[in-house]
Protein backbone atom coordinates (compact mmCIF):
# COMPACT_ATOMS: atom_id res chain seq x y z
CA UNK A 1 0.00 0.00 0.00
CA UNK A 2 1.24 3.47 -0.88
CA UNK A 3 1.51 6.35 1.57
CA UNK A 4 -1.37 8.08 -0.20
CA UNK A 5 -3.60 4.99 0.14
CA UNK A 6 -2.84 4.69 3.84
CA UNK A 7 -3.47 8.43 4.22
CA UNK A 8 -6.92 8.02 2.67
CA UNK A 9 -7.74 5.01 4.87
CA UNK A 10 -6.77 6.89 8.02
CA UNK A 11 -8.76 9.90 6.81
CA UNK A 12 -11.96 7.82 6.74
CA UNK A 13 -11.77 7.07 10.47
CA UNK A 14 -10.87 10.65 11.36
CA UNK A 15 -13.65 12.03 9.15
CA UNK A 16 -16.21 9.75 10.82
CA UNK A 17 -15.15 11.05 14.23
CA UNK A 18 -15.11 14.64 12.95
CA UNK A 19 -18.69 14.37 11.66
CA UNK A 20 -19.85 13.03 15.04
CA UNK A 21 -17.96 15.87 16.73
CA UNK A 22 -19.55 18.48 14.46
CA UNK A 23 -22.99 16.95 15.02
CA UNK A 24 -22.28 17.19 18.75
CA UNK A 25 -21.63 20.93 18.42
CA UNK A 26 -24.77 21.45 16.34
CA UNK A 27 -26.79 19.57 18.97
CA UNK A 28 -25.75 22.37 21.28
CA UNK A 29 -28.15 24.66 19.43
CA UNK A 30 -30.84 22.95 21.49
CA UNK A 31 -28.97 23.90 24.66
CA UNK A 32 -25.73 23.15 26.46
CA UNK A 33 -27.40 20.27 28.31
CA UNK A 34 -28.27 18.65 24.98
CA UNK A 35 -24.70 19.12 23.78
CA UNK A 36 -23.30 17.45 26.88
CA UNK A 37 -25.86 14.61 26.75
CA UNK A 38 -24.91 13.92 23.12
CA UNK A 39 -21.22 14.00 24.10
CA UNK A 40 -21.71 11.61 27.01
CA UNK A 41 -23.39 9.11 24.68
CA UNK A 42 -20.71 9.46 21.98
CA UNK A 43 -17.92 9.14 24.52
CA UNK A 44 -19.06 5.61 25.30
CA UNK A 45 -17.57 4.78 21.90
CA UNK A 46 -14.67 7.15 21.27
CA UNK A 47 -13.44 7.25 24.89
CA UNK A 48 -13.15 3.46 24.84
CA UNK A 49 -9.43 2.85 25.43
CA UNK A 50 -8.87 0.85 22.24
CA UNK A 51 -10.88 3.22 20.05
CA UNK A 52 -9.16 6.26 21.53
CA UNK A 53 -5.68 4.82 20.97
CA UNK A 54 -6.55 3.97 17.36
CA UNK A 55 -7.93 7.50 16.80
CA UNK A 56 -4.83 9.13 18.29
CA UNK A 57 -2.56 6.92 16.16
CA UNK A 58 -4.59 7.87 13.08
CA UNK A 59 -4.28 11.56 13.92
CA UNK A 60 -0.51 11.28 14.33
CA UNK A 61 -0.19 9.35 11.08
CA UNK A 62 -2.57 11.68 9.24
CA UNK A 63 -0.59 14.76 10.21
CA UNK A 64 2.76 13.19 9.34
CA UNK A 65 1.65 11.60 6.07
CA UNK A 66 -0.37 14.67 5.04
CA UNK A 67 2.55 17.05 5.50
CA UNK A 68 4.84 14.60 3.71
CA UNK A 69 2.53 14.39 0.71
CA UNK A 70 2.04 18.17 0.66
CA UNK A 71 5.77 18.91 0.76
CA UNK A 72 6.65 16.14 -1.68
CA UNK A 73 4.75 17.76 -4.56
CA UNK A 74 4.96 21.40 -3.46
CA UNK A 75 6.93 22.71 -6.45
CA UNK A 76 5.05 20.55 -8.94
CA UNK A 77 1.59 21.64 -7.83
CA UNK A 78 -0.39 23.53 -10.49
CA UNK A 79 -3.97 24.79 -10.47
CA UNK A 80 -6.57 25.77 -7.90
CA UNK A 81 -7.67 22.32 -6.72
CA UNK A 82 -4.18 20.93 -5.97
CA UNK A 83 -3.35 24.06 -3.99
CA UNK A 84 -6.69 24.01 -2.17
CA UNK A 85 -6.09 20.39 -1.25
CA UNK A 86 -2.57 21.09 0.01
CA UNK A 87 -3.41 24.24 1.96
CA UNK A 88 -6.59 22.83 3.52
CA UNK A 89 -4.65 19.71 4.50
CA UNK A 90 -1.86 21.80 6.02
CA UNK A 91 -4.39 23.79 8.07
CA UNK A 92 -6.06 20.59 9.24
CA UNK A 93 -2.67 19.29 10.37
CA UNK A 94 -2.14 22.46 12.38
CA UNK A 95 -5.64 22.24 13.86
CA UNK A 96 -5.33 18.58 14.79
CA UNK A 97 -2.02 19.11 16.55
CA UNK A 98 -3.27 22.11 18.52
CA UNK A 99 -6.75 20.77 19.24
CA UNK A 100 -5.77 17.25 20.26
CA UNK A 101 -2.89 18.63 22.31
CA UNK A 102 -5.24 21.03 24.09
CA UNK A 103 -7.80 18.30 24.82
CA UNK A 104 -5.21 15.92 26.23
CA UNK A 105 -3.64 18.71 28.29
CA UNK A 106 -7.03 19.73 29.62
CA UNK A 107 -7.82 16.17 30.67
CA UNK A 108 -4.44 15.06 32.00
CA UNK A 109 -2.74 18.22 33.27
CA UNK A 110 -5.69 20.43 34.23
CA UNK A 111 -8.08 17.63 35.27
CA UNK A 112 -10.96 19.28 33.40
CA UNK A 113 -13.90 17.71 31.66
CA UNK A 114 -13.18 18.81 28.08
CA UNK A 115 -16.83 19.43 27.29
CA UNK A 116 -18.74 22.34 25.73
CA UNK A 117 -17.39 24.81 28.27
CA UNK A 118 -13.80 23.83 27.57
CA UNK A 119 -14.32 24.64 23.88
CA UNK A 120 -16.31 27.80 24.58
CA UNK A 121 -14.00 29.33 27.21
CA UNK A 122 -11.64 30.89 24.69
CA UNK A 123 -14.56 32.79 23.13
CA UNK A 124 -15.33 34.48 26.43
CA UNK A 125 -11.91 35.69 27.58
CA UNK A 126 -10.58 38.67 25.58
CA UNK A 127 -8.51 38.83 23.46
CA UNK A 128 -8.64 35.09 22.72
CA UNK A 129 -11.77 35.29 20.51
CA UNK A 130 -9.54 36.87 17.84
CA UNK A 131 -7.75 33.53 17.69
CA UNK A 132 -10.58 31.08 18.29
CA UNK A 133 -13.13 32.49 15.84
CA UNK A 134 -10.97 31.90 12.74
CA UNK A 135 -9.37 28.83 14.34
CA UNK A 136 -12.67 26.93 14.55
CA UNK A 137 -14.28 28.46 11.48
CA UNK A 138 -11.48 27.56 9.09
CA UNK A 139 -11.07 24.10 10.62
CA UNK A 140 -14.59 23.11 9.58
CA UNK A 141 -14.26 24.75 6.16
CA UNK A 142 -10.85 23.14 5.59
CA UNK A 143 -12.22 19.69 6.48
CA UNK A 144 -15.07 19.86 3.98
CA UNK A 145 -12.92 21.51 1.31
CA UNK A 146 -10.25 18.84 1.72
CA UNK A 147 -12.82 16.06 1.38
CA UNK A 148 -14.29 17.87 -1.63
CA UNK A 149 -10.86 17.89 -3.26
CA UNK A 150 -10.55 14.15 -2.66
CA UNK A 151 -13.94 13.67 -4.36
CA UNK A 152 -12.84 15.93 -7.21
CA UNK A 153 -10.14 13.49 -8.31
CA UNK A 154 -12.75 10.74 -8.53
CA UNK A 155 -14.90 12.75 -10.97
CA UNK A 156 -12.21 14.72 -12.80
CA UNK A 157 -13.17 13.19 -16.14
CA UNK A 158 -16.82 14.19 -15.80
CA UNK A 159 -18.37 17.48 -17.05
CA UNK A 160 -16.90 20.66 -15.58
CA UNK A 161 -19.98 21.55 -13.51
CA UNK A 162 -19.80 18.23 -11.65
CA UNK A 163 -16.15 18.84 -10.77
CA UNK A 164 -16.98 22.30 -9.48
CA UNK A 165 -19.97 21.19 -7.43
CA UNK A 166 -18.19 18.38 -5.55
CA UNK A 167 -15.98 21.07 -4.00
CA UNK A 168 -18.29 24.09 -3.96
CA UNK A 169 -21.29 22.42 -2.28
CA UNK A 170 -19.50 20.87 0.72
CA UNK A 171 -17.41 24.01 1.20
CA UNK A 172 -20.51 26.23 1.19
CA UNK A 173 -22.28 23.92 3.63
CA UNK A 174 -19.17 23.92 5.80
CA UNK A 175 -19.13 27.73 5.93
CA UNK A 176 -22.71 27.76 7.25
CA UNK A 177 -22.01 24.98 9.77
CA UNK A 178 -18.79 26.67 10.90
CA UNK A 179 -20.56 29.98 11.40
CA UNK A 180 -23.26 28.31 13.51
CA UNK A 181 -20.67 26.57 15.68
CA UNK A 182 -18.69 29.77 16.21
CA UNK A 183 -21.83 31.74 17.10
CA UNK A 184 -22.95 28.98 19.45
CA UNK A 185 -19.63 28.80 21.30
CA UNK A 186 -19.48 32.58 21.50
CA UNK A 187 -22.92 32.68 23.12
CA UNK A 188 -24.53 34.59 20.28
CA UNK A 189 -27.32 32.07 19.62
CA UNK A 190 -28.20 31.60 23.26
CA UNK A 191 -26.66 32.76 26.55
CA UNK A 192 -23.57 30.80 27.63
CA UNK A 193 -22.15 31.12 31.14
CA UNK A 194 -18.71 29.54 31.17
CA UNK A 195 -17.64 28.32 34.65
CA UNK A 196 -14.70 30.16 36.21
CA UNK A 197 -12.45 27.08 36.23
CA UNK A 198 -12.54 26.98 32.42
CA UNK A 199 -11.90 30.71 32.06
CA UNK A 200 -9.05 30.36 34.54
CA UNK A 201 -7.07 28.40 31.96
CA UNK A 202 -6.75 31.69 30.07
CA UNK A 203 -5.74 33.67 33.11
CA UNK A 204 -9.25 34.94 33.97
CA UNK A 205 -9.91 34.20 37.63
CA UNK A 206 -13.14 36.15 38.00
**Span 64-77, pLDDT tens digits:** 998 888 888 777 77
Longest CA span, the chain: 59
Which of 43-52, 118-127, 138-147, 152-161 has the weakest average pLDDT? 152-161
Q: Is the pLDDT of residue 50 over 50?
A: yes
Q: Is the pLDDT of residue 206 over 60?
A: no
Which of the 8 DSSP states describes residue 115? S
**Residue 165 binned pLDDT confidence (cut-offs 50, 70, 90):** very high
Q: Are 151 and 135 in contact (CB under 8 A)?
A: no
Number of domains observed in the structure of the chain: 1
What's the Rg (C-alpha) of the chain? 18
Q: Is the pLDDT of residue 163 over 90?
A: no
Mean of pLDDT values over 86-98: 94
Compute the distance between CA of residue 173 and CA of residue 27 in angstroms, rounded to an integer. Answer: 17
Q: Is the pLDDT of residue 34 over 50?
A: yes
Q: Are 198 and 117 in contact (CB under 8 A)?
A: yes
Compute the distance between CA of residue 206 and CA of residue 200 in angstroms, rounded to an integer. Answer: 8
Average pLDDT of the chain to the nearest whole number: 92
Does a cis peptide bond (omega within 30 degrees of 0) precede residue 158?
Answer: no
Compute the distance between CA of residue 27 and CA of residue 142 in angstroms, rounded to an integer. Answer: 21
Q: Which has more pLDDT, 71 or 199?
A: 199
* Range with top average pLDDT, 6-10, 56-60, 150-154: 56-60
Q: Which has more pLDDT, 153 or 25?
A: 25
Task: Kindly report the number of other CB atoms within 10 A of residue 73's CB atom.
Answer: 11
Please, which contacts does 158-162 make with residues 24 or more away whose CB atoms are closer than 8 Å? Answer: none
Q: At what angle do helices 3-27 and 129-154 cross, to 10 degrees?
A: 130
Which pLDDT belongs to residue 204?
A: 46
User: Rounded to whole angstroms, what are the CA distances from 148 to 79, 82, 96, 130?
Assistant: 15, 11, 19, 28
Which of 18-22, 41-45, 161-165 has the weakest average pLDDT? 161-165
Percent of the chain with pLDDT over 90: 76
The DSSP H or E segment spanning 190 is none
What pTM was estimated for this model as a whole?
0.92
**Residue 205 binned pLDDT confidence (cut-offs 50, 70, 90):** very low
Domain that holds residue 156: 3-202
Amino acid sequence: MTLRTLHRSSAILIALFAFVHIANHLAGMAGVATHIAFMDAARLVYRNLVVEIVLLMCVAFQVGSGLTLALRGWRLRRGFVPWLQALSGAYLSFFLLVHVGAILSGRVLLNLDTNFYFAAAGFHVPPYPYFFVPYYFFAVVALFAHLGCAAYWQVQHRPGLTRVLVIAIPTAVAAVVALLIVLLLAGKLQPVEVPAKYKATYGAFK
